[in-house]
Amino acid sequence: MSFEWPWQYNFPPFFTLQPNVDTRQKQLAAWCSLALSYCRHHKLYTLDVMEAQESPVFNNKKIERKLSMEAIQVVFEELRKKGNLEWLDKNKSRCLVMWRRPEEWGKLIYQWVSKNGMVNSVFTLYELSNGDDTEGEEFHGLEEWMLLRSLQALQTEGKGEIITMDDGKGVKFF
């Protein structure tokens, strides 16, 4: 299924940071939404800022408009404030994109576990993210750092416990 661009994507001024404060708010909200859905569609969990500039999301070649580096930083800062983005380095050149927050992932994983009657079982992280059984689930292919955070969220809720095993980590669900 191909990605559906929102109307703003083809609206040239969308790629210019708006001077009017109220308009800018609307604009940023739309950018955040677009960035997150794009990452979600393509299952992107990290973004490199330099690469992002050339990515179709921020660069619409058809209408010859792209977001400036400054504007991209503003959008990313907005995402960070909302809890959907985390910088991996001090220089802000790479970031984690959480188009779904850890709690939300945790919920999905737990639902799958209980639906399949596997509460009280132990899973390795690998089994959860890459096992045959989970193919077709949304969290299949989830990157380890994200998976870990999601399980940590479940742990906080008392729904599981992360355990360390010989060759890696695992989790037991309650």
Partner 1 sequence: MRRGVGAGAIAKKKLAEAKYKERGNVLAEDQIVQMSKQLETFKSNLEEFASKHKQEIRKSSQFRVQFQEMCATIGVDPLASGKGFWSEMLGVGDFYYELGVQIIEVCLALKHRNGGLITLDELHQRVLKGRGKYAQDVSQDDLVRAIKKLKVMGSGFGMIPVGGSYLVQSVPAELNMDHTVVLQLAEDHLLKEGLAWLDSQAPGEAQYWLPALFSELTHRDVTPEEANQMTP
| Closer Cβ to partner 1, 64 or 167, answer by number | 64
Q: Which of 3, 26, 111, 163 is in the footprint of partner 1 by CB under 8 A?
A: 26
Min CB(13)–partner 1 separation in Å? 3
Amino acid at 25: Q
| Closer Cβ to partner 1, 1 or 7, answer by number | 7
Name the token pair of 119: 């509460």
φ, ψ dihedrals at 155, nearest 5°: -60, -45
Q: Does residue 96 bind partner 1 (CB under 8 A)? A: no
Q: Which of 8, 37, 124, 155 is in the footprint of partner 1 by CB under 8 A?
A: 8
Stated as kind and residue range, the H or E segment containing 161 is strand 160-165
Q: Tell me 5's DSSP state.
A: P
Answer yes or no: are the C-beta atoms of 171 and 123 closer than 8 Å: yes
User: Where does residue 120 rank: exposed (0-12), middle (13-18), buried (19+ CB within 10 A)?
Assistant: exposed
Q: Which of 40, 44, 53, 65 is in the footprint of partner 1 by CB under 8 A?
A: 65
Please give the residue ranges that form the binding site for partner 1 (CB under 8 A): 6-8, 10-16, 18-20, 22-23, 25-27, 29-30, 64-66
